[in-house]
């Protein structure tokens, strides 16, 4: 329920004990490397972000500024510019946010449920293997996740 940054020490807990979104990154088939900064014409605006304010803060918080919508806007704009813009043939900035949040709403509870079913419950003394966590995520999402430690 916390995250650490070496240079700044540990931060306070994330607002919810749930999985949150970091982003939705388009990817070419069978290629791990994602394209970046593709369509610089379409912009993520404050007005678009405002429409999704509550969901962004709940499901896609910037962990450094989790409760501060205004300080987090740059993060979401950067996610669109770097990654979402590479899906601009399919998504407008608004549709990109809508789709990403919908995926978070769908999969976060399923992942949490599978982790609990598999006895993976956060505490300060129990260690869980990466493979056990990956298996639970795969059971929930029907896809292979990547965990980097």
Contact 65, 76 (CB under 8 A): no
Distance CA 56, CA 41 (A): 23
What per-residue confidence (pLDDT) applies to 17? 65
Cβ atoms within 10 Å of 103's Cβ, excluding its own: 14
Distance CA 19, CA 62 (A): 13
Contact 128, 56 (CB under 8 A): no
Element (H, E) at 78: helix 69-82
Q: What is the mean pLDDT of residues 124-144?
A: 91
Helix (H, G, I), strand (E, B) or coil at 49: helix
Q: Is the pLDDT of residue 1 over 70?
A: no
Instruction: Enumerate the active-site residues.
Output: 22, 79, 83
* Confidence (pTM): 0.78
pLDDT tens per residue, range 8-26: 555 555 455 677 888 888 7
Q: CA-CA distances (angstroms) from residue 9 to 68, 73, 83, 94, 148?
A: 20, 24, 28, 35, 19
Domains defined for the chain, CATH in brackets: 15-141 (3.90.730.10)
130 token code pair: 């990466």
Which stretches does DSSP call E strand in the chain?
4-5, 9-10
């Amino acid at each position: 329920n916390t995250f650490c940054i070496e240079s700044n020490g540990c931060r306070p807990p994330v607002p919810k004990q749930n999985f949150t979104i970091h982003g939705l990154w388009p990817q070419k088939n069978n290629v791990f490397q994602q394209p970046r900064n593709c369509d610089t014409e379409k912009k993520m605006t404050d007005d678009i972000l405002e429409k999704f304010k509550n969901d962004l803060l709940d499901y896609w918080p910037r962990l450094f500024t989790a409760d501060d919508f205004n300080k987090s806007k740059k993060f979401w704009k950067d996610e669109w510019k770097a990654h979402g813009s590479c899906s601009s043939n399919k998504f407008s900035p608004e549709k990109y946010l809508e789709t990403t949040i919908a995926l978070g709403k769908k999969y976060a509870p399923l992942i949490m449920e599978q982790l609990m079913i598999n006895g993976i419950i956060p505490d300060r003394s129990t260690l869980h293997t990466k493979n056990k966590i990956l298996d639970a995520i795969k059971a929930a999402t029907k896809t292979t996740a990547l965990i980097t430690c």
